[in-house]
């Protein structure tokens, strides 16, 4: 949800939280303050996280809400699969944005990682390199470089497709053949924000898959990404007629097999790479979350 306001002379000098309370009477003052603190309010295009900010005539105010928890996400030790001076690998829960969005800065994985790294008072100022991203409702292993000496090499491994990324997905229907490759060229629709195949203007996308388990009308599939386009797995399986369970945006069912699926059933299960500084082979696996229990 996005709301837009223009400050008039009558509004001049009001606190930001008081102004929004008047404009959005269904929102409590507490909720408005939490939205501001998360970073969901922008003034003239810039994020403002101070409730006491005084608005001025002709300023444009934007209020963003994403229907996620207003309590900021924080990392704990159980989520950290690996950490050294150069890298950190996180088991990201579903429902957490990897990077800041218009609706929030605080509580994204990026911001939570900054908070986590600053706990070590003796460590150098953290510098996070985002070489990889996961959708908000995709869970699992994701790697970040946390030292300038690692940024370039890790990014090169990602771009050269030498980082092996294996996912698990639960799909509607049983893909045929049981093992295969999707190869298309994907482009984003600017209106729906969905990806779709466009052989003329899209970017190359390659996805290998293999069925691991089947039920009456669904399957658990192991997937290896060769390229890493936005929504690549979700788009490929949807266009093939096997949308992910819970993936409403791409035609997947919310209820299937007598179960409710609150988000797309997609989990980043395994990452394999070489350490960007030492060259040592590394492999990490993220436990399958409870909401994909049938895949466990």
Interatomic CA distance for residues 81 and 89, integer angstroms: 5
Active-site residue flag, 135? yes
CA atoms within 13 A on the CB side of 8: 2
Closest CA to 37 of 103, 85, 128: 103
**Which pairing describes strands 46-47 and 2-6: parallel, antiparallel, or unpaired?**
unpaired
CA angle 118, 119, 121 (to 5 degrees): 80
Cβ atoms of 165 and 177 within 8 Å: the answer is no
Interatomic CA distance for residues 63 and 96, integer angstroms: 19
Which of 17, 37, 97, 135 is flagged as catalytic? 135
Phi then psi for residue 235, to 5 deg, are -70, -45
Q: Where are the beta strands (DSSP E) in the chain?
A: 2-6, 41-43, 46-47, 60-64, 80-83, 87-92, 139-145, 164-172, 179-188, 195-197, 203-214, 218-225, 255-256, 259-260, 266-274, 281-285
Closest CA to 218 of 167, 264, 251, 172: 172
Interatomic CA distance for residues 36 and 32, integer angstroms: 6
Active-site positions read 135
């Amino acid at each position: 949800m996005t709301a837009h306001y223009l400050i008039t002379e009558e509004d001049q000098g009001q606190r930001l939280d008081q102004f929004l309370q008047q404009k959005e009477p269904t929102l409590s003052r507490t909720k408005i303050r939490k939205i501001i603190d998360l970073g969901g309010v922008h003034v003239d295009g810039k994020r403002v996280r101070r409730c006491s900010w005084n608005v001025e005539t002709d300023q444009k105010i934007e209020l963003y809400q994403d229907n996620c928890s207003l309590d900021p996400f924080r990392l704990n030790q159980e989520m950290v699969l690996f950490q050294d001076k150069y890298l950190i690998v996180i088991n990201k829960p579903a429902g957490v944005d990897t990077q800041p969005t218009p609706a929030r800065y605080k509580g994204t994985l990026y911001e939570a990682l900054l908070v986590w790294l600053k706990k070590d008072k003796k460590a150098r100022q953290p510098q996070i390199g985002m070489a990889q991203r996961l959708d908000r409702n995709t869970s699992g292993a994701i790697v970040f470089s946390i030292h300038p000496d690692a940024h370039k090499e890790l990014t090169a491994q990602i771009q050269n497709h030498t980082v092996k990324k294996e996912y698990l997905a639960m799909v509607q229907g049983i893909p045929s053949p049981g093992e295969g490759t999707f190869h298309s060229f994907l482009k984003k629709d600017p209106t729906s924000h969905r990806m779709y195949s466009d052989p003329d203007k899209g970017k190359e996308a390659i996805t290998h898959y293999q069925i691991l388990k089947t039920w009456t009308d669904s399957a658990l599939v192991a997937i290896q990404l060769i390229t890493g386009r936005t929504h690549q797995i979700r788009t490929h399986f949807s266009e093939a007629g096997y949308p992910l369970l819970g993936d409403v945006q791409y035609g997947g069912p919310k209820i299937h097999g007598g179960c409710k699926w609150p988000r797309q059933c997609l989990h980043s299960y395994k990452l394999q790479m070489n350490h960007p500084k030492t060259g040592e082979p590394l492999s990490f696996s993220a436990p399958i979350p409870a909401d994909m229990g049938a895949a466990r």
